[in-house]
C-alpha cells in the first residue's frame, strides 16, 4: 500500500535531532544542570547572514514537532502545521524555523524522566523546577549553536507566547520581533487554581509514588488523565463545546447510571486517555509550575511597563474573543504596558469561538494577520540584505 501524498504546503517529512549541551546551565531556582539535551526540529534554510531565523516556542503539552510529518503514515502533522510551511504565514521558503522541546519536557530533551548524571538514577521529582527564563536561557544557547545571533522573530501561543515576551526582555539585542499569541503577562489566581487541581489529581494518584513511579514500574494514569480532562475544559469555550457536543447522548436516551452518557464526557475521557500515552506526569507537574511562576514584571517592582522597557523588539500581540483561559483582557494588559513603555506593538483581537485552543486552529482572520505580519518581517530582512 502506498501512503497518501503529503499536502503540497507541508514541510514534508522531518527528522528531529538531539543536541547535547555540555556546559552547565544555571537555573532560577539556584540549582545547576551539569549538562542537558535539547530535541530540535528545523524547517527551511538559514540564509548566509543568518538573519531569517524564527524561533517557535511550544506551550504546555506540545513539543519540538511543530510542523510536517515524522513518517508518511503519520495521521497528524506537527502542532502548528497550520502556521508553518511553504506558502503558510511563517513561510519556510523565506524563513529558517526552529522549534525545540524545552528542558523539563518529555519528548527527548532533558527532563524528569532523564537520568541524573550525578546519581545515575532518573530525576523524577528531583528534577529542578524550571522557569520561562531558564527555557529562554537554554534557547539562547541553542541559537549560539545554530549560528543565530539574532532571531528575525520569536513566536508562540499561550505559554509559548510567554517565552516570546521573556525573550524580548532578557535578550533585547537578539530578537527583532516578538509574536505573543493567546498569552498573559502572569497567571491569575483562577489560572493557578486550575493548575493546582491538576497537580493534586496527579499527586494523589496511588500510582504516583511521590514522582518515583518510573522505579515502581507504574504510571499515574488516572491522575494525569484527570489533569488533562480539566485542562481541556479550559482550552475550549462554552460555545465551541455547545456546538460540538451540546447535550447529545451517546445512547440517545438517559440511562440513569454513571456510565459515559453525554458525548462531551466521552470526548473528554478520550482526550485524557490519549494524553496519558504520550505525556509524562512529572513533566506536566513541572510545566504547570513554570506557568504559575511566570511573572516578568515581578523583578521590576511589579510594573509590567518597566519590564517592557527592557525590550527592543517590535511586537505582535494576538488574542481570541472566546478565550477565557487567557482572555483578550490579559493580552491587552501586555499591549497597554508596551504602549506605556513606548514600544512598537500591533494588537489583533480575532473573533473566534474555539476558546484558548484557537491559536492552533486555521482561523482565516488569524492566519491572515500572521501572514501580513510575517510578510513585513520578511521585507525587513530583504531590505537589510540589500
Partner 1 sequence: MRADLAIISDWIDTGSRVLDLGCGDGILLAHLQAERGVRGYGLEIDQEKILACIGKGVSVIHADLEAGLRDFADQSFDYVVMTQTLQAVQHTERLLEEMLRVGREGIVTFPNFGHWRCRLQLGGSGTMPVVKALPHAWYNTPNVHLFTIRDFEALCQRKHIEIRQRAMVDTAHRSSPQLRLFPNLLAELALYRLRQRP
115 near 121, Cβ under 8 Å? yes
Residue among 271 and 371 whose Cβ is closer to partner 1: 371
The least distance separating partner 1 from the CB of residue 52, rounded to whole angstroms, comes to 18
The least distance separating partner 1 from the CB of residue 370, rounded to whole angstroms, comes to 10
Residue among 227 and 313 whose Cβ is closer to partner 1: 313
Residue among 300 and 332 whose Cβ is closer to partner 1: 332
**Class of residue 173 by CB neighbours under 10 A (exposed 0-12, middle 13-18, buried 19+):** exposed
Residue among 310 and 336 whose Cβ is closer to partner 1: 336
Residues designated as active site: 158, 323, 356
Residue among 279 and 373 whose Cβ is closer to partner 1: 373
Give the cell for residue 134: 531558564
The least distance separating partner 1 from the CB of residue 223, rounded to whole angstroms, comes to 40
- Calpha distance 106→281 (Å, rounded): 9
- CA-wise closest residue to 382 among 42, 57, 93, 87: 93
What is Dmax (Cα atoms) for the chain?
72
The least distance separating partner 1 from the CB of residue 329, rounded to whole angstroms, comes to 10
Query: Binding residues for partner 1, per CB under 8 A?
Result: 314, 332, 335-336, 339-340, 342, 344-349, 365, 368-369, 372-373, 375-376
The least distance separating partner 1 from the CB of residue 79, rounded to whole angstroms, comes to 25
Helix residue ranges, H only, the chain: 132-146, 159-170, 189-203, 213-216, 221-235, 238-244, 263-276, 281-293, 304-308, 328-340, 364-385
Amino acid at each position: 500500500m502506498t501512503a497518501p501524498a503529503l499536502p503540497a504546503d507541508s514541510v514534508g517529512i522531518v527528522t528531529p535531532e538531539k543536541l547535547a549541551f555540555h556546559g552547565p546551565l544555571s537555573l532560577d531556582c539556584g540549582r545547576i544542570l551539569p549538562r542537558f539535551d535539547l530535541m530540535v526540529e528545523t524547517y527551511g534554510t538559514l540564509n548566509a547572514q543568518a538573519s531569517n531565523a524564527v524561533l517557535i516556542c511550544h506551550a504546555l503539552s506540545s513539543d519540538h514537532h511543530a510542523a510536517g510529518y515524522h513518517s508518511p503514515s503519520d495521521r497528524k502533522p506537527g502542532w502548528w502545521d497550520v502556521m508553518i510551511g511553504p506558502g503558510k504565514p511563517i513561510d519556510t521558503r523565506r524563513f529558517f524555523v526552529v522549534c525545540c522541546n524545552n528542558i523539563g519536557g518529555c519528548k527527548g530533551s532533558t527532563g524528569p524522566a532523564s537520568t541524573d548524571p550525578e546519581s545515575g538514577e532518573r530525576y523524577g521529582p528531583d528534577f529542578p523546577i524550571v522557569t520561562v527564563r531558564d527555557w529562554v536561557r537554554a534557547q539562547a544557547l541553542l541559537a549560539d549553536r545554530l549560528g543565530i545571533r539574532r532571531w528575525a522573530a520569536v513566536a508562540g501561543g499561550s505559554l509559548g507566547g510567554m517565552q516570546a515576551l521573556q525573550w524580548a526582555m532578557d535578550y533585547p539585542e537578539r530578537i527583532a520581533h516578538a509574536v505573543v499569541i493567546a498569552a498573559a503577562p502572569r497567571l491569575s489566581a483562577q489560572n493557578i487554581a486550575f493548575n493546582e487541581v491538576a497537580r493534586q489529581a496527579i499527586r494523589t494518584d496511588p500510582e504516583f509514588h511521590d514522582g518515583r513511579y518510573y522505579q515502581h514500574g507504574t504510571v499515574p494514569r488516572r491522575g494525569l488523565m484527570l489533569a488533562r480532562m480539566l485542562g481541556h475544559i479550559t482550552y475550549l469555550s462554552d460555545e465551541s463545546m455547545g456546538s460540538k457536543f451540546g447535550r447529545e447522548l451517546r445512547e440517545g436516551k438517559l440511562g440513569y447510571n454513571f456510565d459515559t452518557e453525554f458525548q462531551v464526557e466521552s470526548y473528554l475521557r478520550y482526550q485524557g486517555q490519549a494524553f496519558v500515552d504520550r505525556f509524562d506526569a512529572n513533566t506536566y507537574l513541572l510545566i504547570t509550575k513554570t506557568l504559575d511562576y511566570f511573572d516578568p514584571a515581578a523583578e521590576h517592582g511589579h510594573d509590567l511597563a518597566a519590564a517592557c522597557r527592557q525590550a527592543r523588539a517590535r511586537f505582535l500581540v494576538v488574542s481570541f474573543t472566546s478565550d477565557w483561559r487567557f482572555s483578550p483582557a490579559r493580552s491587552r494588559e501586555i499591549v497597554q504596558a508596551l504602549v506605556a513603555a513606548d514600544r512598537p506593538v500591533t494588537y489583533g483581537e480575532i473573533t473566534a469561538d474555539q476558546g484558548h485552543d484557537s491559536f492552533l486552529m486555521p482561523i482565516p482572520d488569524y492566519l491572515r494577520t500572521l501572514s501580513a505580519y510575517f510578510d513585513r518581517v520578511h521585507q525587513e530582512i530583504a531590505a537589510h540584505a540589500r
